[in-house]
Structure 1
Amino acid sequence: MVLGGSLVALSGCQAATDTADAPTPSMDPEVDAILDRRATALANEDAPGWLAAVDAGNPALVAHEKQVLANLRQLAPEQVRFRRCGRGPDPVAPGRYASSLPLQSIAYDVDLTMRLPGVDAAATTVRHRYVFGRVDGAVTLVDVARGAAVGGEPVPLTDCPWDTCALQVRRRPGVLLAAQSDVDNADALAEVAAQAVTELRRDWGENPLPESFAVFVAADTDTFRGWFGGAAPDWTDGVTVAVRRAGAKDSGDGRYAGTRIAIDLPASRTAGSPYETIKRQLGYAAGLAMLPASPRPASLPGAAEIGAPLWAVEGFAQYLAGRDSSAVRGRAQTRLRAARLAAEPELGAEPELAANPSFYAAPARSTNLALASSLFQFVAGRYGHRRARELYLAAVTRPAGKSAEPDPQAGLAGALARAGLVGASQADAASTDFYAQWRHFVLRS
């Protein structure tokens, strides 16, 4: 699932144009002044300045704007800018907080550009649709719209955690953790996340990682499902979303700016533990920074068009999640046993890795995940963690001038040869010692 959500796919707006000949008289200059004042107010922690142009007669909207300001203050973004970049449909319909609108109202698409220090390599962009109207003669923010259309496709707006619920932010080395206010153990979760980041840095070796990771924790599944354009598949307890640089195009290099990790806290506890979920998502986040450029930034799990084999991306992340926890490894072993029982009639000389288009498809999804993870568990057990990491890197970083290998078995063969785990002449021979030993590892699970 490659996303077109507000945080994910929007790369900045086109140059705004004055549209004074529209049916409603233009408010462009006044709106620009309001947006500039909001950016200044956020930088100066000036609540009256932030709320100055908000419709005081709409308590729900005022409460929402106070909440957004409080959340952004805690996140402490840099390079903040609000930019008007177009208009919504005319006439304007009421959105999230108003039941009716002033006669003279205009919906404006507004991009919020900001950078989370330590997390983002560059500023990123989030799109909102604000409704401005004339109240007692003054241009006023009267509502926040529910959605917009970008490139002909519906795009959810204001679906970021800081725009949808009250947050409590905790900072630890390597982690910016923002939990929904209903989460009662944010401090403990921040410590768990910091531990997982420390382990990831050790596991990742000399490969580059960001200074810090942004982890958002939802207290309930409905809230989690609404974040980041509904990025998370309905079967997962977490999702990691790649975000692009502000102003980046749909093609070319330099688009990746960072990631946002979202955790469904109740689901993570049901599936195993928050530690396991966070550690796995950190593996995704580290991997997304290394993947070849794709037409749009992606999310994991769930994306098929990420320019790299999912058996490697998922398998390595699942393996990393269990490297420091016997409980996590035990659950992985149980899943592998179930996968082996499901696949045994077809298990020939080598376990079958799934191709990207079918990797997440039910009912084979759990089998595909378990077999991919077993590959890296086997390599680490036989050759050591460094060789497992080298196999992963060989699989996700393509040789110059070559496209991704669509056949996962051929892709594995090439990666094994590039990682030096088998000889180049033996890479596609199912009878080699490597394949026989991996098969034995799966069968004895």
Structure 2
Amino acid sequence: MRSGVGSRVVAALLAAVCCGACTWTDEPPPTSTEPAQHLSASQFRDAAVDLIEQREAALREDDRDAFLATIDDDELQFVATQSRWFDNLSAMPVSDLRIEPLDRATPDADEDELHIPVDFTMRLDGFEERSVTQRLLYTFRQVDGEVGLVNDRNSERDRRTGWLPDPWDVGDVEVRESGSILAFFDEDTAPYADAVMKDLKSSQETVLAAVPGWSGQLVAYDISDFAGLEKRTPMKLWETGGVAYPVPVRPGSDEVAAVRFIVNPDVVHNSLQREFLLPHELTHVALGSRDDASPRWLTEGAAEYVSRSEYSVEQQRRMAGFAMTYLGVTAPVLVNGSDFYANPNTNYEVAAAACTYLAVTRGEDVLWDLMDAFTAEADQMPMSAAQIDAILEREIALDSLTLARESVAWAAAVG
């Protein structure tokens, strides 16, 4: 027995076949639509520049759909990474957003791709005094007269220029703000964010009390991608707790827009090490370029001194004495340059002892005055050991060897 539904389906099919068989027309079959016109070279260029302007407007207006509309839909991976990048920027306190094309050269008439270098500018509003500009290379493609962006970087060019990505360039970030502190975490480091932010605040107060003239503004990265840290540290990764580094206003410029710092999660998530690591790195942030001309033992030793400055003078002295005994330091030397990091444990502690000795016996301003004295002689860079000693003898009446010996003897004399 056939169901009523099946009967109706068969009847409908028979009617469709019969109607189709009886239909007749003298009109020719419809022709296929004509392909879209290929854009001329100048039209292609103008369309690409229009898309750049649309991207800038979309970023300024926080319009995600308009921003993604500038991208070629067929580039699925690029769409995904650009979506993530837009979402990251939307969560950040950014201002002065600009995308400026640098080259409007017309492509060859038969080319379907166009490369335009652009300057992308932004400022972390409230945390940096100046904007940062980075160079991007936009690649546009036209298909059937439609133009879309298919890439914003070039790997070969990035390797040649030494470009290092920021956290918001490589993954989803969690943004934390507290007063003048801005920090970036990712999925793996976010569980530690509350503890890190609390200690960043405490460390900020320590450094504000020790380093004159600092605004307190800071930008910190605590992310699980080690690429940025590994390429910035002069030491082995496992020896590195963090790195503070200057950010130029644009590639190749000597002008610094900000000093940011990136931490090693394996170290900073240890609460005992975090107590000393964070104020050390914030000291580098606070000093900015003030210590650029100083010998390495002074820059690192001063940061170590500040990291321990919450302790009493007696406790600081005991720390230095214990370190000298533990490391077996009998012939202390203050090391300058990249050699400082060849034996970091000993060199950091000898430098810390020297700077602590100076700060305790002569007042901590002596450290900043020394840095200013070295800056005044910056035209002699790089300085020889004799030039460094000449400045030391003029400013504190000690050469580096005598300072090292006196500071270690001072630390060892504690009862």
- Which residues in structure 2 correspond to 1:173-212 (within 5 Å)? 173-183=179-189, 184-204=191-211, 207-212=212-217
Question: Which residue of the partner structure matches residue 233 of structure 2?
Answer: 232
Question: Which residue of the partner structure matches residue 273 of structure 2?
Answer: 273
Which is helix-richer, 1 or 2? Answer: 2
Q: Is the 8 A contact 2:301 2:351 kept in 1?
A: yes
Q: 1:398 pairs with 358, 374, 377, which one?
A: 374
- 1:243 and 1:177, CA in 2 relative to 1: closer, same or farther beyond 3 A? same
Q: Is the 8 A contact 1:355 1:407 kept in 2?
A: no
Question: Which residue of the partner structure matches residue 97 of structure 2?
Answer: 80
CA distance in 2, matches of 1:56, 1:32: 18
Q: 2:54 pairs with 37, 42, 49, which one?
A: 37
- Which residues in structure 2 correspond to 1:114-193 (within 5 Å)? 114-149=122-157, 154-157=160-163, 159-183=165-189, 184-193=191-200
1:440 paired to 2:406: no
Q: Is the 8 A contact 2:392 2:400 kept in 1?
A: no
- Which residues in structure 2 correspond to 1:414-429 (within 5 Å)? 414-415=391-392, 417-418=394-395, 421-422=396-397, 427-428=398-399
% identity of equivalent residues: 20
1:374 paired to 2:374: no
Secondary structure (helix, strand or coil) at the match of 1:398 reads helix
- 1:142 and 1:238, CA in 2 relative to 1: closer, same or farther beyond 3 A? same
- 1:131 and 1:286, CA in 2 relative to 1: closer, same or farther beyond 3 A? same
Question: Which residue of the partner structure matches residue 222 of structure 2?
Answer: 217
- 1:338 and 1:417, CA in 2 relative to 1: closer, same or farther beyond 3 A? farther
Question: Which residue of the partner structure matches residue 71 of structure 1?
Answer: 88
CA distance in 2, matches of 1:201, 1:319: 14
Question: Which residue of the partner structure matches residue 302 of structure 1?
Answer: none
CA distance in 2, matches of 1:406, 1:106: 48
Deviation, 1:107, is: 3.6
- Which residues in structure 2 correspond to 1:289-308 (within 5 Å)? 289-291=289-291, 306-308=292-294
Alpha-carbon displacement from aligned partner over 1:277-322 (angstroms, at most 9, x marks no partner): 222111111222324xxxxxxxxxxxxxx43211111111122122
Q: Give the aligned residue type for 2:293.
A: G
Deviation, 1:157, is: 4.2
CA distance in 2, matches of 1:435, 1:404: 23
Question: Which residue of the partner structure matches residue 335 of structure 2?
Answer: 354
Alpha-carbon displacement from aligned partner over 1:361-417 (angstroms, at most 9, x marks no partner): x2x23222221111112223334xxx2332243135437466357345752563464
**Unaligned 5+ residue runs, structure 1?**
1-22, 92-102, 292-305
Secondary structure (helix, strand or coil) at the match of 1:78 reads strand
Q: Is the 8 A contact 1:313 1:396 kept in 2?
A: no
CA distance in 2, matches of 1:192, 1:49: 40
Segment drifting more, 163-172 vs 118-127: 118-127
Please provide the CA RMSD for this pair. 3.5
Which TM-score applies when normalising by structure 1?
0.71
Question: Which residue of the partner structure matches residue 301 of structure 1?
Answer: none
1:241 paired to 2:245: yes
Alpha-carbon displacement from aligned partner over 1:306-344 (angstroms, at most 9, x marks no partner): 432111111111221222369x968876654444x1x42
Question: Which residue of the partner structure matches residue 260 of structure 1?
Answer: 260
Higher RCO, Cα 8 Å, sep 6+: 1
Q: Is the 8 A contact 2:246 2:288 kept in 1?
A: yes
Q: Give the aligned residue type for 2:76.
A: P
CA distance in 2, matches of 1:74, 1:429: 49
Deviation, 1:167, is: 0.8
Q: Give the aligned residue type for 1:287.
A: L
Q: Is the 8 A contact 2:283 2:306 kept in 1?
A: yes
Secondary structure (helix, strand or coil) at the match of 1:230 reads helix
- 1:308 and 1:158, CA in 2 relative to 1: closer, same or farther beyond 3 A? closer
Please identify the structure whose Cα radius of gyration is greater: 2
Deviation, 1:42, is: 1.7
